[in-house]
Structure 1
């Protein structure tokens, strides 16, 4: 597993709160449907602002792996 600093460096160009397009880019350009499945399945903690999905300041993947976005 990578350490926190690795992910801090990897996502330094992204804001603490990202939209769906940025979230997809952060995960290597995954498809829109895949990104939405991750959110609907509870794999990624997120919250909605109006009709826009915003991800928390940390993308947290179930298990022991945490991906830092800032």
Structure 2
């Protein structure tokens, strides 16, 4: 990420995400305000909680968890 963000260094970004205390409510408000400016109107961010069913152990993030689409616990990401 440090290569993508202009005028930043790895250590600064690491501290910002890992060590700094975040006020989640304020971050969310700013995210909504930025989205409204970008899209030109009040908007919502859709979240898909369906999960993708997986059968192996080799995919990153696979764990036994609730799969909304199937309505039961399964290995998914």
What TM-score results when the alignment is normalised by the length of structure 1? 0.30
Q: Which has the higher contact order (CA 8 A, sep 6+)?
A: 1
**Which is higher, the Rg of structure 1 or of structure 2?**
2
| Structure ranking higher in strand proportion | 1
- The TM-score with structure 2 as length reference comes to 0.28
